[in-house]
């Protein structure tokens, strides 16, 4: 069995960041969610609530009616040079609606928290979506995305990371119970803003077996002189939509009118975008590191 550390580099290019065009930080756009490339013709899966957030983002007055207030950030490694970040032009976004009720009792939400972004690029690297969930409770899973959004990439106060963050955990529970048609998986991985839409991987195969959509929140109270403060705290439990639901929706994409009528022959290829884009290496924000002698350590210590 091949280690996931060997598989992951081939999967990482298909994980994209969804960011606002208007950002508080000029150095890097504000990431609001994660997505993964599902089809070569530019279909990206994310969460439905990410799509709703996109529609509420502020717009520039100069934007036309067909312009979207987001950029999709694609990361491409250039050997011996560095990481190239490419903005993928957004053609449209969409969510889901339930056409008819399912038979039997549905323990999950009526509408799965799935959404789509369509970009004007073709021949993109894609992730394979498993047809069903093969793993069981207690099995290990991997999740990759952009938890805490841009804050993680700028943790020391400047941009120091240009890659998704990979996390591992286990399937803590299959919801509502172990069955052929679960509505969710519960993972012991903390959800944080920016990671919504992150793909969940089977570490043995590299297939997508789920997509993160929510975290379990713990309500808490704090008593003080002025009264009781009620607040919520994140837990290390995350909900993910299982593979079977994602795969069924994936198979129906060709029936969506907007996707069916898209003339992808007019789209740029990702290779042409890479060839056009110049690789820029940002100058270091601090002086180049060098070995420090014991004398210097002592001097700094005694200065205090």
φ, ψ for residue 142 (rounded to 5)?
-120, 145
pLDDT of residue 273: 85
* pTM listed for this prediction: 0.85
Closest by CA to 267, choosing from 118, 116, 165, is 118
Q: Which of 101-110, 202-211, 250-259 has the highest mean pLDDT?
A: 202-211
The yes-or-no verdict on residue 300 having pLDDT over 50 is no
Q: For 28, phi and psi rounded to 5 degrees? A: -160, 140
- Show me where the domains of the chain are located: 4-281
Tell whether the model's pLDDT for residue 175 goes beyond 80: yes
**Strand 268-269 vs strand 121-122: parallel, antiparallel, or unpaired?**
parallel
Q: How far apart are CA 17 and CA 71, in angstroms?
A: 8
Beta strands in the chain (DSSP E): 15-20, 31-37, 43-46, 70-78, 82-88, 90-94, 115-119, 121-122, 140-145, 165-175, 184-187, 199-201, 208-224, 227-242, 268-269
d(CA 292, CA 123): 48
pLDDT band at 279 (very low <50, low <70, confident <90, very high): very low
pLDDT digits (tens, 9 = 90+) for 41-75: 999 999 999 999 999 998 888 888 888 999 999 99
Rounded percentage of the chain residues whose pLDDT exceeds 70: 87
More confident residue, 87 or 286: 87
CATH number of 4-281: 2.40.10.120
Using 50, 70 and 90 to split pLDDT, how confident is the model at 85?
very high
User: How far is the C-alpha of 256 from the C-alpha of 193, rounded, in Å?
Assistant: 30
Strands 82-88 and 70-78: antiparallel
Q: Do residues 81 and 63 make contact, with C-beta atoms less than 8 angstroms apart?
A: no
Q: Residue 106 in contact with residue 126, Cβ under 8 Å?
A: no
Q: Are 140 and 117 in contact (CB under 8 A)?
A: no
Q: How far apart are CA 1 and CA 12, in angstroms?
A: 20
User: Is the distance from CB of 138 to CB of 171 less than 8 angstroms?
Assistant: yes
Nearest to 200 by CA among 257, 238, 148, 230: 238
Distance CA 62, CA 110 (A): 38
Residues 90-133 have pLDDT tens digits of: 988 988 876 556 677 788 888 999 999 999 899 999 999 999 89
């Amino acid at each position: 069995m091949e280690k996931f550390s060997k598989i992951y580099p081939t999967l990482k290019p298909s994980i994209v960041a969804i960011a606002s065009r208007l950002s508080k930080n000029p150095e890097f756009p504000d990431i609001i969610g994660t997505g993964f490339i599902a089809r070569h013709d530019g279909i990206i899966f994310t969460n439905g609530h990410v799509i709703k957030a996109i529609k509420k983002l502020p717009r520039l007055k100069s934007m036309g009616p067909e312009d979207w207030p987001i950029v999709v950030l694609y990361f491409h490694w250039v050997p011996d040079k560095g990481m190239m970040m490419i903005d993928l032009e957004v053609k449209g976004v969409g969510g889901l609606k339930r056409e008819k009720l399912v038979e039997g009792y549905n323990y999950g939400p009526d509408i799965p928290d799935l959404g789509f972004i369509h970009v004007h690029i073709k021949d993109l690297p894609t992730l394979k979506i498993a047809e069903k969930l093969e793993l069981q409770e207690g099995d290990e899973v991997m999740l990759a995305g952009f938890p805490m959004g841009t804050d993680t990439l700028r943790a020391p106060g400047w941009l120091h990371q240009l890659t998704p963050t990979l996390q591992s955990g286990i399937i803590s529970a299959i919801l509502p119970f172990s069955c052929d048609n679960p509505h969710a998986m519960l993972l012991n991985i903390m959800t944080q803003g920016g990671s919504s839409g992150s793909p969940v991987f089977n570490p043995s195969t590299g297939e997508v077996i789920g997509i993160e959509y929510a975290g379990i929140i713990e309500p808490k109270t704090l008593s003080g002189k002025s009264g009781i403060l009620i607040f919520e705290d994140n837990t290390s439990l995350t909900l993910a939509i299982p593979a079977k639901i994602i795969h069924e929706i994936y198979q129906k994409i060709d029936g969506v009118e907007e996707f069916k009528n898209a003339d992808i022959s007019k789209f740029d290829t990702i290779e042409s975008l890479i060839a056009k884009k110049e690789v820029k290496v940002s100058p270091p924000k601090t002086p180049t590191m060098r070995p420090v002698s014991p004398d210097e350590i002592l001097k700094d210590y005694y200065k205090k």
